[in-house]
């Protein structure tokens, strides 16, 4: 029973982190129909930006109020989104809409490679550490285990962000406009919807979510080049399980992966990597579109 | 690089080159040798996950040593002659990232287009297994300076290929010996190692060594997260839950840094004795975030363990490195140094035998076979693999933060002679461990 509780807690923590990282990917695919291979780099840049922002915060006397470092992390992610979102969407991706999926995958893969080198040019290869926010909230005792309270903050952020995006999309007028664009962008255009603006804002939001994932991760790791590579693989697994473009799917997919992985680490560590893709394979056998993707009629 | 930085770099290099030429002339090296250069292709990770921990520090150390050698008269004898036997050393750096197939192509480019006189490189074991057959095919003198897999010379035999660092079995044999000699309680052990050859082999060597030296030790759990996983929360829970006496890890680079940052606040280091087989390279970056009391290896008598042993050669290179890069050298530059110094010894030995001419690959291979030389990491002896594979001494210590200097230090350092932690010639490392280290000579 105790072991089950550990598996659930560990799975929830990992799943929450995965959900934040995956949400932007599934959102961009759902709205813009782009499988964004550069998502991992945007995550890494978010981590770098947060590390720089927190470093600057403490350098400018933030020791007096260390909790302000959390705001610095979020500001770092917003900064990344406001610069890279419009730059990539307006400056590059817009010119490829309507082309084959594969073209957009190649374009975003190119962006991924460029951003990987850009990070090295800006921040170098020496890792950055900003572990202060990680230990700032202390520990939570759970049986014989200590968990860092920051891990539960990540769960709270995941819930807030997930509910927030869901609410905006499903319960607000602007969200309804976005849903209209998702369902039929030509028809939306004829009805007077500024589809270009919807795409710009949606992509920027996707970049923000990727950067936020990186920003929240930065205090737990050494921020160094290539941290985005593995993340993109995991994020793809999550959104494929949940169904490309589905927020609920990403949440359930992240939870499935998190708990399956935690169970494996505790019970059968040899299968830790295998189990993630086993979950994905099982879901795809029974639901090839993913758990929450509705089967769509193809337009002719 | 900004134009100002670029100008400074060019100016600095020109000054060093001018000084090297002046010194070379001053000590009377023959005119032909002074004008000739010895081209070395240096292959290491300049980008990717292993760059920050291994590739860049190694290249920095290599560039520094080559500049000092070219100046001549800076290093203590027998390394005081300029360059290699009077020839200026010209290094051609190549990025090791991209996988073995790309590296084979890069190797061919170095040999056939750049016409290098020797290739010195390779951190990745995959690259170290892919390059030797090509080196022999091209008859190109090649030094593997860093990679750890014992398979290179345990499963193969090459004429032109040498490895100037001990293979990785030494790391974990030394850790187990440290557990035994220090009387560290190790009734139960657990491991967290990356899920590829390096992590799997390290764990296998450690468990096998412990089963010989501490026969009562039982394995509680063995975790193998993916390389570059970054998130270890679940693994840390599992390690704390099994509450093993000793937690072994050969994690490296960003993975090790993340593991330490995440495990520290959760109390793993207080509950278990953590032993990091190759952990010294993260100490400069982690500073006091690395807890006290962690057992650390450096894949040789490298880094802080070498500094504590203080030879004039070590001190000189240590201080030059610190001054140039603002950080103390860890294992990677030490392995680069022993490779370059080994190459220098081989070149000068071959030149002594051929009347002072630039040696051919065959002459270099003959000079390097069974060679031995002093390096900042101790005496390097090419005794395995028919004289092509080095053995070297090793050291294991325990971390302790020094408030006075604001630096991490190593205490309780145990030094192991090369013959104590490396198998004898003709014996595979894992067989030697399983047989109980027959013939081991420990000081």
* Cβ pair B233:A125 closer than 8 A: no
Strands B273-276 and B295-297: parallel
User: What is the spatial distance between Cα B104 and Cα B92, in angstroms, rounded to a whole number?
Assistant: 16
CATH of domain A2-286: 1.10.3470
Per cent of chain B over pLDDT 70 is 92
Nearest CA in chain B to A272: B225
pLDDT for B27:
42
Establish if B242 touches chain A: CB-CB under 8 angstroms: no
* Cβ pair B266:A134 closer than 8 A: no
> What are the residues whose beta carbons fall under 8 Å from the beta carbon of B4, sequence distance 6 or more?
none
Nearest CB to A131: which of B233, B237, B289?
Answer: B289
- Phi, psi (5° rounding) for residue B185? -65, 120
Parse chain A into domains and list their residue ranges: 2-286
* Cβ pair A151:B234 closer than 8 A: no
Judging contacts by C-beta atoms under 8 Å, the chain A residues touching residue B258 are 220-222
- What is the arrangement of strands in the sheet containing B394-402, beginning at the earlier edge strand? B218-223, B188-192, B246-249, B273-276, B295-297, B394-402, B407-416
Place A99 in a pLDDT band, splitting at 50, 70 and 90. Answer: confident
* Cβ pair B265:A225 closer than 8 A: no
| C-alpha atoms less than 13 angstroms from C-alpha of B362 in its C-beta half-sphere | 1
pLDDT for B319:
96
Nearest CB to B265: which of A17, A135, A231?
Answer: A135
| Least confident span in A280-294, B177-191, B322-336 | A280-294
Place A120 in a pLDDT band, splitting at 50, 70 and 90. Answer: confident
ipTM of the complex: 0.87
Roughly how many angstroms between the first and final C-alpha of chain A, as a whole number? Answer: 54
pLDDT for B3:
44
Residue B423: CB atoms within 10 A of its CB come to 26
* Cβ pair A269:B221 closer than 8 A: yes
pLDDT in tens, B357-404: 999 999 999 999 999 999 999 999 999 999 999 999 999 999 999 999
Size of interface A-B (CB pairs under 8 A): 124
Element holding A145 (H helix, E strand): strand A145-148
pLDDT for B4:
47
Mean of all residue pLDDT scores within chain B: 91
Instruction: Tell me, yes or no, if the pTM score tops 0.90.
Output: no
Taking residues A22-39, report their average pLDDT. 91
* Cβ pair A273:B226 closer than 8 A: yes
Nearest CB to A220: which of B195, B238, B262?
Answer: B262
Closest CA to B146 of B377, B329, B392, B335: B335
pLDDT in tens, B97-108: 889 999 999 999
Establish if B289 touches chain A: CB-CB under 8 angstroms: yes
The label of the residue with tokens 């016409």 reads: B115
* Cβ pair B261:A129 closer than 8 A: yes
- Phi, psi (5° rounding) for residue A143? 65, -135
pLDDT for B62:
97
Q: Are the C-beta atoms of B235 and B223 separated by less than 8 Å?
A: yes
Q: Are the C-beta atoms of A222 and B261 separated by less than 8 Å?
A: yes
The label of the residue with tokens 């500001």 reads: A75
Judging contacts by C-beta atoms under 8 Å, the chain B residues touching residue A269 are 221-224, 238
pLDDT in tens, A206-221: 999 999 999 999 999 9
Establish if A175 touches chain B: CB-CB under 8 angstroms: no
CATH of domain B169-298+393-434: 3.40.50.2300
Per cent of chain A over pLDDT 90 is 68
* Cβ pair B52:A227 closer than 8 A: no
* Cβ pair A6:B258 closer than 8 A: no
Per cent of chain B over pLDDT 90 is 82
pLDDT for A53:
96
Taking residues B68-80, report their average pLDDT. 95
pLDDT for A296:
60
* Cβ pair B228:A227 closer than 8 A: yes
B3-167+309-391: CATH architecture: 3-Layer(aba) Sandwich (3.40)
User: What is the spatial distance between Cα B233 and Cα A261, in angstroms, rounded to a whole number?
Assistant: 11
Distance from CA of B269 to the nearest CA of A (A): 12
pLDDT in tens, B116-154: 999 999 999 899 999 999 999 999 999 999 999 999 999
Judging contacts by C-beta atoms under 8 Å, the chain B residues touching residue A10 are 233-234, 237
Place B310 in a pLDDT band, splitting at 50, 70 and 90. Answer: confident
* Cβ pair B47:A265 closer than 8 A: no
* Cβ pair A129:B258 closer than 8 A: no
User: What is the spatial distance between Cα A254 and Cα A15, in angstroms, rounded to a whole number?
Assistant: 5
Interface of B with A in 176-205 (CB under 8 A): 195
Distance from CA of A145 to the nearest CA of B (A): 7
Name which of A15, A121, A226, A261 to mutate to probe chain B: the one with the most chain B Cβ atoms within 10 A of its Cβ.
A226
pLDDT for A125:
75
Q: Are the C-beta atoms of B369 and B388 separated by less than 8 Å?
A: yes
Parse chain B into domains and list their residue ranges: 3-167+309-391, 169-298+393-434
Cα–Cα distances in angstroms (integers) from residue B304 to residues B90, B260, B394, in the given order: 30, 19, 12
pLDDT in tens, B248-266: 999 998 899 999 999 999 9
Taking residues A30-35, report their average pLDDT. 88
* Cβ pair B234:A221 closer than 8 A: no
User: What is the spatial distance between Cα B217 and Cα B207, in angstroms, rounded to a whole number?
Assistant: 9
Closest CA to B276 of B262, B266, B290: B290
Establish if A48 touches chain B: CB-CB under 8 angstroms: no
Q: Is the pLDDT at A5 greater than 60, yes or no?
A: yes
User: What is the spatial distance between Cα B260 and Cα A257, in angstroms, rounded to a whole number?
Assistant: 24
pLDDT for A295:
57
Task: Spell A58-77 as b/e; 16+ CB within 10 A means b.
Answer: eeeebeeeeebbbebbbbbb
pLDDT for A294:
61
Establish if B257 touches chain A: CB-CB under 8 angstroms: yes
pLDDT for B33:
53
Place A41 in a pLDDT band, splitting at 50, 70 and 90. Answer: very high
């Amino acid at each position: 029973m105790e072991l089950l509780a550990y598996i659930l807690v560990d799975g929830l923590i990992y799943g929450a982190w995965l959900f934040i990282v995956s949400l932007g990917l599934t959102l961009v695919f759902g709205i813009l129909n782009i499988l964004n291979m550069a998502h991992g780099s945007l995550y890494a840049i978010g981590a770098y930006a947060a590390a720089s922002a927190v470093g600057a915060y403490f350098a400018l006397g933030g020791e007096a109020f260390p909790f302000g470092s959390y705001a610095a992390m979020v500001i770092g992610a917003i900064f990344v989104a406001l610069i890279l979102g419009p730059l990539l969407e307006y400056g590059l991706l817009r010119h490829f809409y309507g082309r084959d999926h594969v073209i957009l995958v190649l374009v975003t893969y190119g962006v991924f490679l460029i951003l990987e080198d850009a990070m090295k040019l800006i921040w170098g290869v020496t890792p950055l550490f900003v572990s202060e926010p990680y230990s700032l909230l202390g520990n939570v005792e759970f049986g014989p285990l200590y968990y860092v309270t920051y891990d539960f903050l990540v769960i709270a952020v995941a819930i807030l962000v997930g509910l927030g995006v869901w609410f905006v999309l499903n319960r607000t007028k602007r969200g309804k406009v976005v849903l209209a664009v998702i369902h039929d962008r030509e028809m939306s255009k004829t009805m007077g919807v500024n589809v270009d603006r919807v795409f710009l804002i949606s992509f920027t939001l996707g970049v923000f979510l990727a950067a936020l994932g990186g920003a929240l991760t930065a205090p737990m790791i050494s921020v160094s080049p290539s941290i985005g590579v593995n993340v993109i693989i995991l994020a793809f697994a999550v959104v494929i399980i949940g169904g490309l473009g589905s927020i609920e799917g990403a949440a359930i997919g992240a939870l499935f992966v998190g708990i399956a992985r935690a169970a494996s680490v505790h019970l059968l560590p040899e299968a830790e990597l295998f189990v993630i893709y086993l979950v994905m394979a099982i879901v795809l056998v029974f639901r090839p579109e993913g758990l929450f993707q509705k089967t769509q009629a193809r337009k002719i | 690089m900004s134009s100002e930085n670029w100008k400074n770099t060019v100016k600095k290099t020109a000054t060093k080159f001018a000084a090297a030429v002046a010194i070379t002339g001053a000590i009377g090296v023959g005119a032909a040798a002074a004008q000739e250069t010895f081209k070395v292709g240096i292959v290491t990770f300049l980008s990717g996950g292993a760059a920050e921990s291994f590739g860049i520090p190694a290249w920095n150390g290599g560039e520094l040593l080559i500049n000092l050698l070219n100046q001549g008269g800076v290093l203590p004898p027998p390394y005081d002659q300029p360059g290699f036997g009077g020839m200026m050393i010209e290094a051609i750096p190549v990025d090791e990232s991209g996988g073995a197939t790309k590296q084979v192509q890069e190797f061919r480019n170095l040999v056939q287009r750049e016409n290098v006189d020797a290739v010195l490189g390779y951190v990745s074991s995959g690259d170290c297994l892919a390059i030797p057959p090509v080196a022999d095919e091209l008859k190109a003198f090649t030094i593997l300076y860093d990679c750890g897999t014992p398979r290179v010379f345990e499963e193969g035999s090459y004429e032109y290929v040498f490895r100037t660092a001990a293979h990785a079995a030494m790391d974990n044999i030394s850790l187990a010996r440290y557990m035994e000699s220090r009387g560290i309680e190790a009734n139960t052990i657990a491991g967290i190692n990356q899920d590829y050859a390096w992590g799997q082999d390290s764990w296998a060597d450690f468990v096998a060594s412990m089963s010989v030296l501490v026969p009562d030790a039982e394995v509680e759990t063995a975790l193998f997260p993916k390389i570059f996983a970054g998130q270890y929360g679940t693994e840390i829970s599992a390690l704390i839950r099994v509450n093993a006496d000793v937690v072994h890890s050969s994690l490296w680079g960003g993975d090790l840094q993340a593991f330490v940052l995440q495990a520290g606040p959760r109390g793993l280091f207080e509950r278990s004795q953590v032993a990091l087989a190759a952990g010294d390279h993260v100490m400069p970056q982690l500073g006091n975030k690395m807890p006290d009391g962690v057992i650390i290896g450096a894949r040789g008598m490298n880094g802080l363990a070498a500094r504590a042993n203080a030879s004039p050669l070590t001190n000189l290179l240590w201080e030059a490195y610190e001054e140039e890069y603002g950080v103390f050298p860890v294992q990677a530059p030490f392995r680069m140094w022993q490779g370059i110094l080994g190459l220098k010894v081989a070149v000068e030995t071959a030149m002594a035998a051929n009347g002072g001419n630039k040696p051919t690959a065959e002459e270099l291979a003959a000079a390097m076979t069974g060679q031995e030389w002093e390096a900042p990491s101790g005496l390097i002896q090419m005794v395995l693999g028919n004289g092509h594979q080095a053995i070297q001494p090793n050291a294991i210590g325990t971390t302790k933060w020094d408030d006075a200097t604001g630096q991490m230090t190593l205490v309780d350092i145990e030094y192991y002679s090369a013959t104590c932690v490396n198998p004898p010639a003709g014996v595979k490392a894992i067989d030697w461990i399983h047989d109980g280290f027959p013939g081991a000579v420990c000081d």
